[in-house]
Structure 1
Amino acid sequence: MALMENPGTAHAMQLDHATIVTADLDTVRRFFVDVAGLTQGARPAFSVDGYWLYANGRPLIHLIDATVPAAAGRTAPRIDHIAFRLERAAEWRALLGRLHAHGVDYRTARVPQMGPQEAQAQLFVALAPGVVVEFVTALHHAEI
Protein backbone atom coordinates (compact mmCIF):
# COMPACT_ATOMS: atom_id res chain seq x y z
CA MET A 1 0.00 0.00 0.00
CA ALA A 2 1.47 3.35 -1.01
CA LEU A 3 1.59 6.10 1.58
CA MET A 4 0.07 9.26 0.15
CA GLU A 5 0.40 12.79 1.43
CA ASN A 6 -2.84 14.54 2.21
CA PRO A 7 -3.19 16.93 -0.75
CA GLY A 8 -4.84 19.57 1.45
CA THR A 9 -1.85 19.97 3.74
CA ALA A 10 1.47 21.47 2.74
CA HIS A 11 3.90 21.54 5.64
CA ALA A 12 7.53 21.23 6.51
CA MET A 13 7.13 18.77 9.37
CA GLN A 14 10.17 16.56 9.81
CA LEU A 15 11.29 13.80 12.13
CA ASP A 16 12.93 15.52 15.09
CA HIS A 17 14.26 12.72 17.33
CA ALA A 18 13.73 9.27 18.81
CA THR A 19 13.88 8.63 22.56
CA ILE A 20 15.25 5.39 23.96
CA VAL A 21 14.66 4.46 27.60
CA THR A 22 17.30 2.10 28.98
CA ALA A 23 18.77 1.01 32.30
CA ASP A 24 22.19 0.76 30.60
CA LEU A 25 22.76 4.34 29.51
CA ASP A 26 26.53 4.05 29.03
CA THR A 27 26.42 0.95 26.83
CA VAL A 28 23.73 2.42 24.59
CA ARG A 29 25.54 5.78 24.49
CA ARG A 30 28.80 4.07 23.50
CA PHE A 31 27.05 2.16 20.70
CA PHE A 32 25.57 5.32 19.19
CA VAL A 33 28.81 7.30 19.61
CA ASP A 34 31.46 4.66 18.84
CA VAL A 35 29.59 2.56 16.28
CA ALA A 36 26.87 4.74 14.76
CA GLY A 37 29.08 7.84 14.73
CA LEU A 38 26.84 10.24 16.66
CA THR A 39 28.33 12.84 19.01
CA GLN A 40 27.41 13.28 22.65
CA GLY A 41 26.33 16.87 23.20
CA ALA A 42 24.56 19.31 25.46
CA ARG A 43 21.26 18.37 27.12
CA PRO A 44 18.90 20.53 29.20
CA ALA A 45 18.82 19.93 32.95
CA PHE A 46 15.93 17.45 33.17
CA SER A 47 14.99 15.65 36.39
CA VAL A 48 16.10 12.26 34.98
CA ASP A 49 19.57 11.26 33.78
CA GLY A 50 20.26 10.81 30.12
CA TYR A 51 22.17 11.92 27.05
CA TRP A 52 21.45 13.73 23.81
CA LEU A 53 23.36 12.34 20.84
CA TYR A 54 23.84 14.59 17.85
CA ALA A 55 24.08 14.22 14.07
CA ASN A 56 24.61 17.21 11.81
CA GLY A 57 24.35 19.60 14.77
CA ARG A 58 20.92 18.31 15.93
CA PRO A 59 20.08 16.04 18.87
CA LEU A 60 18.81 12.98 16.98
CA ILE A 61 18.74 10.34 19.74
CA HIS A 62 17.61 11.10 23.29
CA LEU A 63 18.62 8.50 25.88
CA ILE A 64 16.74 8.39 29.19
CA ASP A 65 17.64 6.40 32.30
CA ALA A 66 15.07 3.66 32.93
CA THR A 67 15.57 3.67 36.69
CA VAL A 68 12.40 5.75 36.93
CA PRO A 69 9.50 3.30 37.42
CA ALA A 70 7.78 2.59 34.11
CA ALA A 71 4.12 3.49 33.77
CA ALA A 72 1.64 0.62 33.59
CA GLY A 73 1.89 -1.16 30.27
CA ARG A 74 5.32 0.26 29.45
CA THR A 75 8.50 -1.75 29.60
CA ALA A 76 12.15 -0.81 29.67
CA PRO A 77 14.29 -0.83 27.68
CA ARG A 78 12.17 0.54 24.89
CA ILE A 79 12.05 3.12 22.16
CA ASP A 80 9.83 5.54 24.01
CA HIS A 81 8.53 7.87 21.34
CA ILE A 82 9.15 9.56 18.02
CA ALA A 83 9.01 13.31 17.63
CA PHE A 84 8.13 15.53 14.71
CA ARG A 85 9.31 19.14 14.47
CA LEU A 86 7.02 21.88 13.21
CA GLU A 87 8.94 24.96 12.09
CA ARG A 88 6.11 27.48 11.73
CA ALA A 89 3.48 28.83 14.12
CA ALA A 90 0.78 28.25 11.49
CA GLU A 91 1.68 24.54 11.37
CA TRP A 92 1.42 24.32 15.17
CA ARG A 93 -1.98 26.05 15.19
CA ALA A 94 -3.21 23.77 12.39
CA LEU A 95 -2.06 20.70 14.36
CA LEU A 96 -3.91 21.93 17.47
CA GLY A 97 -7.01 22.49 15.34
CA ARG A 98 -6.87 18.95 13.95
CA LEU A 99 -6.32 17.47 17.43
CA HIS A 100 -9.35 19.34 18.78
CA ALA A 101 -11.48 18.54 15.72
CA HIS A 102 -10.79 14.83 16.14
CA GLY A 103 -11.14 14.85 19.94
CA VAL A 104 -7.54 13.68 20.46
CA ASP A 105 -6.26 14.07 24.02
CA TYR A 106 -2.72 15.36 24.51
CA ARG A 107 -0.44 16.82 27.12
CA THR A 108 2.06 19.62 26.76
CA ALA A 109 5.45 20.40 28.27
CA ARG A 110 8.29 22.84 27.83
CA VAL A 111 11.99 22.29 27.19
CA PRO A 112 13.97 25.10 28.84
CA GLN A 113 16.29 27.30 26.82
CA MET A 114 19.80 25.88 26.56
CA GLY A 115 22.54 28.19 25.31
CA PRO A 116 21.57 29.58 21.92
CA GLN A 117 18.76 27.01 21.50
CA GLU A 118 15.51 28.72 22.38
CA ALA A 119 12.90 27.16 24.64
CA GLN A 120 10.74 24.53 22.97
CA ALA A 121 7.09 23.52 23.28
CA GLN A 122 6.25 19.82 23.30
CA LEU A 123 2.92 18.13 22.70
CA PHE A 124 2.52 14.40 23.44
CA VAL A 125 -0.20 12.10 22.08
CA ALA A 126 -0.53 8.56 23.50
CA LEU A 127 -1.86 6.53 20.59
CA ALA A 128 -1.96 3.31 22.61
CA PRO A 129 -0.18 1.97 25.69
CA GLY A 130 3.53 2.31 24.92
CA VAL A 131 3.03 4.25 21.65
CA VAL A 132 3.68 7.98 22.01
CA VAL A 133 4.07 10.63 19.32
CA GLU A 134 5.58 14.00 20.19
CA PHE A 135 5.32 17.23 18.25
CA VAL A 136 7.83 19.96 19.05
CA THR A 137 8.24 23.59 18.01
CA ALA A 138 9.88 26.78 19.20
CA LEU A 139 8.05 27.98 22.32
CA HIS A 140 7.21 31.31 20.69
CA HIS A 141 5.18 29.40 18.05
CA ALA A 142 3.04 27.68 20.67
CA GLU A 143 0.37 28.76 23.09
CA ILE A 144 1.15 26.47 26.04
Structure 2
Amino acid sequence: MQLDHATIVTADLETARHFFVDVAGLTEGARPPFSVDGYWLYASGRPVIHLIDATAPAQTGRAAPRIDHIAFRLESADEWQALLQRLYAAEMPYQLAEVPQMGPQQAELQLFVALAPGVVIEFVTALRHAHRKHAQL
Protein backbone atom coordinates (compact mmCIF):
# COMPACT_ATOMS: atom_id res chain seq x y z
CA MET A 1 0.00 0.00 0.00
CA GLN A 2 1.18 3.54 -0.71
CA LEU A 3 -0.20 7.02 -0.25
CA ASP A 4 -2.31 7.99 -3.28
CA HIS A 5 -3.00 11.67 -2.59
CA ALA A 6 -3.91 14.20 0.07
CA THR A 7 -6.78 16.64 -0.28
CA ILE A 8 -6.59 20.09 1.25
CA VAL A 9 -9.73 22.19 1.46
CA THR A 10 -8.79 25.86 1.65
CA ALA A 11 -10.40 29.25 1.23
CA ASP A 12 -7.12 30.51 -0.31
CA LEU A 13 -6.49 28.29 -3.33
CA GLU A 14 -3.92 30.59 -4.91
CA THR A 15 -1.69 30.79 -1.84
CA ALA A 16 -1.75 27.00 -1.45
CA ARG A 17 -1.09 26.48 -5.18
CA HIS A 18 1.79 28.97 -5.07
CA PHE A 19 3.38 27.17 -2.11
CA PHE A 20 3.12 23.68 -3.58
CA VAL A 21 4.26 24.70 -7.08
CA ASP A 22 6.80 27.46 -6.46
CA VAL A 23 8.22 26.32 -3.12
CA ALA A 24 7.58 22.58 -2.76
CA GLY A 25 8.30 21.94 -6.45
CA LEU A 26 5.11 20.14 -7.53
CA THR A 27 3.59 20.83 -10.95
CA GLU A 28 0.04 21.86 -11.75
CA GLY A 29 -1.67 19.34 -14.00
CA ALA A 30 -4.89 18.03 -15.44
CA ARG A 31 -7.96 17.85 -13.18
CA PRO A 32 -11.40 16.46 -13.93
CA PRO A 33 -14.14 19.09 -14.46
CA PHE A 34 -15.58 19.03 -10.95
CA SER A 35 -18.31 21.50 -9.96
CA VAL A 36 -16.01 23.12 -7.38
CA ASP A 37 -12.79 25.05 -8.09
CA GLY A 38 -9.45 23.50 -7.29
CA TYR A 39 -6.13 22.17 -8.55
CA TRP A 40 -4.41 18.82 -8.89
CA LEU A 41 -0.70 19.05 -8.22
CA TYR A 42 1.68 16.40 -9.49
CA ALA A 43 4.94 14.76 -8.37
CA SER A 44 6.69 12.23 -10.62
CA GLY A 45 3.71 12.21 -12.98
CA ARG A 46 1.10 11.48 -10.30
CA PRO A 47 -1.48 13.85 -8.78
CA VAL A 48 -0.49 13.77 -5.10
CA ILE A 49 -2.13 16.94 -3.78
CA HIS A 50 -5.74 17.88 -4.50
CA LEU A 51 -6.63 21.45 -3.55
CA ILE A 52 -10.34 22.23 -3.20
CA ASP A 53 -12.03 25.59 -2.69
CA ALA A 54 -13.43 25.74 0.88
CA THR A 55 -16.01 28.32 -0.10
CA ALA A 56 -18.12 25.60 -1.74
CA PRO A 57 -21.06 24.39 0.42
CA ALA A 58 -20.37 21.20 2.36
CA GLN A 59 -22.10 18.03 1.24
CA THR A 60 -24.80 16.72 3.52
CA GLY A 61 -23.53 14.06 5.89
CA ARG A 62 -19.81 14.86 5.43
CA ALA A 63 -17.72 16.27 8.24
CA ALA A 64 -15.52 19.26 7.50
CA PRO A 65 -12.16 17.95 6.26
CA ARG A 66 -9.09 18.43 8.41
CA ILE A 67 -5.42 17.69 7.80
CA ASP A 68 -2.75 17.72 10.45
CA HIS A 69 0.16 17.50 8.05
CA ILE A 70 1.44 15.98 4.83
CA ALA A 71 5.01 14.76 4.54
CA PHE A 72 7.20 14.67 1.45
CA ARG A 73 10.45 12.67 1.43
CA LEU A 74 13.44 14.15 -0.38
CA GLU A 75 15.94 11.50 -1.42
CA SER A 76 19.07 13.54 -2.12
CA ALA A 77 21.15 16.40 -0.77
CA ASP A 78 20.54 18.30 -4.03
CA GLU A 79 16.75 18.08 -3.59
CA TRP A 80 17.08 19.24 0.03
CA GLN A 81 19.28 22.21 -0.90
CA ALA A 82 16.92 23.20 -3.73
CA LEU A 83 14.00 23.17 -1.28
CA LEU A 84 15.91 25.34 1.19
CA GLN A 85 16.74 27.81 -1.58
CA ARG A 86 13.08 28.03 -2.66
CA LEU A 87 11.96 28.53 0.96
CA TYR A 88 14.53 31.29 1.38
CA ALA A 89 13.51 32.98 -1.89
CA ALA A 90 9.85 32.85 -0.86
CA GLU A 91 10.73 34.17 2.62
CA MET A 92 8.82 31.21 4.02
CA PRO A 93 9.54 30.50 7.71
CA TYR A 94 10.05 26.91 8.81
CA GLN A 95 11.05 24.80 11.79
CA LEU A 96 13.53 21.94 11.86
CA ALA A 97 13.46 18.81 14.00
CA GLU A 98 15.90 15.95 14.11
CA VAL A 99 14.69 12.33 14.27
CA PRO A 100 17.36 10.25 16.03
CA GLN A 101 18.58 6.98 14.56
CA MET A 102 16.55 3.98 15.70
CA GLY A 103 17.97 0.56 14.94
CA PRO A 104 18.64 0.29 11.20
CA GLN A 105 16.57 3.44 10.51
CA GLN A 106 18.99 6.31 9.83
CA ALA A 107 18.72 9.67 11.55
CA GLU A 108 16.51 12.10 9.62
CA LEU A 109 15.83 15.81 9.48
CA GLN A 110 12.30 17.14 9.33
CA LEU A 111 11.35 20.59 8.08
CA PHE A 112 7.88 21.93 8.90
CA VAL A 113 6.06 24.79 7.15
CA ALA A 114 2.77 26.15 8.52
CA LEU A 115 0.92 26.76 5.25
CA ALA A 116 -2.31 27.94 6.84
CA PRO A 117 -4.04 27.58 10.19
CA GLY A 118 -4.39 23.85 10.74
CA VAL A 119 -2.34 22.83 7.68
CA VAL A 120 1.31 21.88 8.17
CA ILE A 121 3.58 20.56 5.42
CA GLU A 122 6.57 18.41 6.37
CA PHE A 123 9.63 17.63 4.28
CA VAL A 124 11.94 14.88 5.51
CA THR A 125 15.33 13.63 4.40
CA ALA A 126 18.15 11.49 5.71
CA LEU A 127 20.23 13.59 8.09
CA ARG A 128 23.29 12.95 5.93
CA HIS A 129 21.56 14.86 3.07
CA ALA A 130 20.94 17.98 5.16
CA HIS A 131 23.73 20.54 5.28
CA ARG A 132 23.48 22.63 8.43
CA LYS A 133 24.91 25.73 6.73
CA HIS A 134 21.39 27.04 6.07
CA ALA A 135 19.98 28.54 9.24
CA GLN A 136 16.29 28.63 10.04
CA LEU A 137 14.56 31.75 8.71
- Using structure 2 for the length normalisation, give the TM-score: 0.49
- Using structure 1 for the length normalisation, give the TM-score: 0.47
